[in-house]
Amino acid sequence: MRTPYKLILLAGIILTSGLFIFAEKDPPTEERFESKRLNDYNVYALPIPEYIDFAGESVPVNDPDVRERLDRELLVNTYWQSNGLLMFKRANKHFPVIEPILEKYGVPDDFKYLAVIESGLQNVVSPAGARGIWQIMPATAREFGLEVNDNVDERYHLEKSTVAACKYLLASKERFGSWTLAAAAYNAGNAGINRRLDGQQVEDYYNLLLGEETGRYMFRILALKEIMSNPNNYGFNFRETDLYSMVPSYKVEIDTAVTDLANFAQLHKINYKILKIHNPWLREPKLNNKSRKKYEIEIPQQGFYHTSLE
């Protein structure tokens, strides 16, 4: 399950022109939120956390190499303010879907930050062919129960792709005995991590010499976990009203073909665009369904979108 982080983090070394506000202890009031906007722009070195863990596995932050690599990702992701704020906004929308699935399958909650660094919580496409929020390759998707073809691609189905990611991670954890190595294997593959462990005669991620992408992988996850768990410590100020949320919806079960999804949408008083927003796994303007498989199509409740059909 590879993804080129250039899609998400390449611009992270460039400071945006937005305002960075040094953190206060308490979240801003409405008045202070507006007044802060007038402050001068300042850049601060960041303290490295004295302790940080991933899925209950401690990170050796006193190791100078580990410390520098973590510092890099904390700086990149703190001072890429526009992207950081978008992560908070999207997380408020997607984490409530992801978190209970991780819990159901016994995968630590920290893995939600893996989805953040994989895709920025968007349905992106990598040059290698990985797709969706969890950036799953076609063969891996099919191996773990997802339907992938030109008509239906369940890598774009948030709930189903999260289940597939959980199954992959559980298999990796069983193989390596470590959640940290399972996370690294999500990027480099189980065979790739196993080969490097054997070749370098070490047993954990932090002692491995890895390429640029996998070498930064865990530190990106750790940085996003730290920043998103403590937004005020890193100068991110926002109100609840600034965050995104899921539009309430209901499911319509079908077991037949749908020859025209635009007409199907109108029958449910929405338009084609909104139907595809809620069902990005439908890849064509129709649903073939020759096998009479049962699908659930998500329909948003009325009153949330601007459409003349309501």
Q: Is residue 229 part of a domain?
A: yes
Q: What is the mean pLDDT of residues 218-242?
A: 96
At residue 26, the pLDDT reads 61
At residue 42, the pLDDT reads 80
Q: Is residue 296 part of a domain?
A: yes
At residue 209, the pLDDT reads 96
At residue 30, the pLDDT reads 62
At residue 163, the pLDDT reads 98
Q: What is the mean pLDDT of residues 118-126?
A: 96
Does position 10 have pLDDT exceeding 80, yes or no? Answer: no
The three-class DSSP label of residue 297 is strand
Mean pLDDT of all residues belonging to the chain: 90
At residue 21, the pLDDT reads 36
Q: Is residue 307 part of a domain?
A: no
| Dihedral sign, Cα of residue 105, residue 106, residue 112, residue 113 | negative
Q: What percent of the chain has pLDDT over 90?
A: 84
Does position 182 have pLDDT exceeding 70, yes or no? Answer: yes
Alpha helices in 80-145 (DSSP H): 81-104, 112-119, 138-143
pLDDT tens track for 261-307: 999 999 999 999 999 999 999 999 999 999 999 999 999 999 999 87
At residue 20, the pLDDT reads 36
Of the candidates 154, 164, 161, 151, the residue with the CA atom closest to the CA atom of residue 121: 161
Domain residue limits at 180: 6-242
Q: Are residues 178 and 279 in the same domain?
A: no
At residue 224, the pLDDT reads 98
Q: Are residues 105 and 158 in the same domain?
A: yes
pLDDT tens track for 47-68: 999 999 999 999 999 999 999 9
Q: Is residue 309 part of a domain?
A: no
Q: Are residues 21 and 159 in the same domain?
A: yes
Q: Are residues 221 and 255 in the same domain?
A: no
Q: Are residues 205 and 273 in the same domain?
A: no
Q: Are residues 189 and 72 in the same domain?
A: yes
Q: Is residue 310 part of a domain?
A: no
According to DSSP, the residues that pair with 299 across neighbouring strands are: 250
Q: Are residues 217 and 283 in the same domain?
A: no
Q: Is residue 88 part of a domain?
A: yes
Q: What is the mean pLDDT of residues 108-137?
A: 97
Q: Are residues 61 and 152 in the same domain?
A: yes
Domain count, the chain: 2
CATH code of the domain covering residue 221: 1.10.530.50
Q: Are residues 177 and 93 in the same domain?
A: yes
Q: Is residue 212 part of a domain?
A: yes
Q: How far is CA 13 from CA 58, 74, 78, 225, in A?
A: 27, 11, 10, 19
Q: Are residues 141 and 278 in the same domain?
A: no
Does position 101 have pLDDT exceeding 70, yes or no? Answer: yes
At residue 32, the pLDDT reads 61
Q: Are residues 253 and 140 in the same domain?
A: no
Q: Are residues 260 and 211 in the same domain?
A: no
Does position 240 have pLDDT exceeding 90, yes or no? Answer: yes
Q: Is residue 305 part of a domain?
A: no
Does position 80 have pLDDT exceeding 80, yes or no? Answer: yes
